[in-house]
Structure 1
Amino acid sequence: MIDPYQLLGLERDADEAAVKAAYRKAAKSAHPDAGGDLDAFGRLNASYELLKDPVRRRVYDDTGYDPQLADATDLKGLMMLETLVNEMILDERAPGSFDPVAGLRRKLTDDLLKARFHILELERHRTRVRQHADRIGRRPENDVLGAMLRARAQSITEAIKGAETQISAIERAYAMLEGYSYELEAVGPRGPEAEAAE
């Protein structure tokens, strides 16, 4: 992910005029006509486009990601976290009485295990389909069964690729949670009433 502020040599609170001035200064030497690298100039333009758009800039400032500059796996990971954060916000338990960050991690771990198990099931199913195709003996000129079985094996292969993409997004979402912790309410000492209730 490109850091547009770093690339343009700007502070995070730079105003529109400062963004424009920094871009013009950098563009003079980075432009391919001035001997600059085409890819570097493209990154410079992308950074400028992000920072001059107030909506995109706000999203980037809040999340560290821009849909037009971010890796597709990062965006899928963010979308997964967005859904989980919505669930966390709707949880009726009192903040501090449970650890929502640990809950996010558990949910992602469960989703990861389910996706891996799903791939195993798909691979077993694809193997069975291929074995059936291999055992069909007499094949007429118009091999309807063979075509159907090959098409089924191909669709299973596509489903496996989709599940692998899902796993990458889950792993990315989990990595985005690194470094976070959550402070739980301290449970006071147990009084005689609590002990008597047991």
Structure 2
Amino acid sequence: MIDPYDILGVTRDADGTAIKGAYRKQAKTSHPDAGGDVETFSKLTNSYELLIDPIRRKVYDDTGYDPALADTKDLESVLVLETLMNELILDEREPGSFDPVAAMRRKLTDQIVSARFHILEMERHRGRIRNHLDRIGKRPEADILGRMFRARTDTIGEAITKSEAQIDSIERAYAMLEGYSYEMVEIVQNAAE
């Protein structure tokens, strides 16, 4: 995630005037018409627009997240975490009686294992199809069956690529959980027992 405060070079308590001044100062040199980089100027503009909007700024300050400043892969990972967060909110157990961060990590690990197993299964099927393709005699005119077999292997290849991207998103989501801990409630045994 990009930190708009760092991009603009302002403190977290900067007011609108300071934000506007920092933006104008940097825009003079980073604007593409002044020889600046398009991507750098885009990040600068997005940072300014976020911090000047009180609602977006509050959301960013509370969550550290803004869609306009996030890398696409980070957004996919945030969506993975969002799904887990929704499950956590629906969990009826008493807060402090279980570690939700550890539970999220376990679920992410399970998702990675499942996706890797799915890839292995797809690779096995693709291998079988290729074996059939190698063994089938081709018709001299139109190789209809050969095209069908090749189309199946291409489709499986695309599915494998999607699963690999899914694993990458899950691994990024797992990395986003680094540094978090959860304080558990100590269960005190009753002395009368």
Q: Name the TM-score, length of structure 1 as normaliser.
A: 0.88
Distance (whole Å) between structure 2 residues aligned to residue 86 and residue 177 of structure 1: 16
Q: Does 1:8 align with 2:14?
A: no
1:101 matched to 2:97? The reply is no
DSSP-derived class of the 2:80 partner: helix
The equivalent of 1:71 in structure 2 is 71
- Name the % identity: 65
Q: Deviations over 1:109-162 (max 9, x none)?
A: 101100000000011011111111111113231111011111100000010011
Deviations 1:42-82 (A, max 9, x none): 33223223323344333332332322231222111111111
Aligned CA distance change for structure 1 residues 152 and 12 (closer, same or farther; 3 Å): same
Unaligned runs of 5+ in 2: none
User: Equivalent residue for 1:196?
Assistant: none
Q: TM-score, normalised by structure 2?
A: 0.90
**Number of matched residues?**
193
Aligned to 1:85: 85
- Give, in whole Å, the separation in 2 of the partners of 1:152 and 1:51: 50
Partner deviation per Cα, 1:149-194 (whole Å, 9 max, x = no partner): 111000000100110011011101111111111111112145352x
Q: Structure 1 stretch 35-44 or stretch 141-150: which is displaced more?
A: 35-44
C-alpha distance 6-87 of structure 1, shift in aligned 2 (>3 A)? same
Partner of 1:177: 177
- 1:1-198 matches, cutoff 5 A: 1-189=1-189, 191-193=191-193
Query: Which stretch shifts more, 113-122 or 9-18?
Result: 9-18
CA distance in 2, matches of 1:158, 1:192: 64
Amino acid at match of 2:15: D
